Amino acid sequence: MSTTLHPDNADTRRSALAQEGFRFVEGEAMRSLLSSHGSLADWPQFAASWDALEPDTYLASVGLHRRRRHAVFSIADGAITREVDQPHYQSRDYNTLQGGIARWFEPVLPQIAESETLRAVLGFCSDVFGGLAPQVPRWHVELHQFRIEARPGEPGQPTPEGVHRDGVDYVLVLMIDRHNIASGTTTIHAQDGALLGSFTLSRAFDAALVDDARVFHGVTPVVAQDPDAPSHRDVLVVTFRRDSAPAAN
């Protein structure tokens, strides 16, 4: 069961997300959507930066493994600004595994934060998410580069906290690369737990758009197809939360 977003126009995209609270976008369509907001010429370098992610020491402390980098941006009146590095914080209401602590991660590299591809991604998100809440003057945006690795006898856990909400307004999950990986199905749930949809981000540019206030989401564990070879699932997660701070002059 899946719900696919077609690249008709901005109003169609917003309407589809507003009606159901989530949308799956196939890679070819998503690439076209992103291209309408900027160049993707540096996509190969952008995708290659996942090879430079650092271990998530917080998750390692509970015996699980992933790599990541993090950055914070603000968007006001269409202007995208990278903010000073900040910790990532979620309350235990949203993250029962690692909530209630300020987690500092290695920052997104400057050349990636300033890349044409990322600017296209953020422009797309600003268009779609900002169009759903035009009364919001300023958005607090967090960017997460994730690599989930599956090891012999040990599935990788894309969402170790289980089915959850992130405690933001909107979420984009963009597939960057899958190598030697099986499973990793995204599931979308109503607040009573009922399954609303499921789909697998399996190719570069496949994407999920989520209205975090309305639905819960999770991803099933991933396993290595060949347990003797390296395997990973690379995604970019972008979250938008309305920011009460005044925009800088």
All structural domains of the chain, each given as residue ranges with its CATH number in brackets, are 10-242 (2.60.120.620)
pLDDT confidence of residue 96: 54
Alpha-helix runs per DSSP H in 92-175: 110-113, 116-132
Q: Are 112 and 121 in contact (CB under 8 A)?
A: no
Of 141, 171, 173, 170, nearest in space to 243 by CA? 141
> Could you count the other beta carbons within 10 Å of the beta carbon of residue 87?
11
Q: What are residue 58's phi and psi, to 5 degrees? A: -65, -45
Residue 114 Ramachandran class (φ > 0 left, ψ -120 to 50 alpha, else beta): alpha
For strand 138-149 and strand 66-76, is the pairing parallel, antiparallel, or unpaired? antiparallel
Query: What is the b/e burial string over 120-159, where b = at least 16 CB atoms within 10 angstroms of the residue's CB?
Result: bbbbbbbbbbbebeeebebbbbbbbbbbbbbeeeebbbbb
pLDDT confidence of residue 82: 97
> Could you count the other beta carbons within 10 Å of the beta carbon of residue 1?
9
pLDDT confidence of residue 87: 87
pLDDT in tens, the chain (249 residues): 444 444 455 566 778 798 999 999 999 999 999 999 999 999 999 999 999 999 988 775 555 678 999 999 999 998 999 999 898 665 555 545 555 687 788 999 999 999 999 999 999 999 999 999 999 999 999 999 999 998 888 888 888 888 988 999 999 999 999 999 999 999 999 999 999 999 999 999 999 999 999 999 999 999 999 999 999 999 999 999 998 754 433
Q: Are 225 and 181 in contact (CB under 8 A)?
A: yes
Between CA 155 and CA 137 the distance in angstroms is 42
Residue 49 Ramachandran class (φ > 0 left, ψ -120 to 50 alpha, else beta): alpha
Between CA 70 and CA 88 the distance in angstroms is 8
By the 10 Å C-beta count (0-12 exposed, 13-18 middle, 19+ buried), 95 is classed as buried
Angle between helices 10-20 and 116-132 in degrees, nearest 10: 60
Between CA 175 and CA 28 the distance in angstroms is 12
Between CA 218 and CA 189 the distance in angstroms is 8
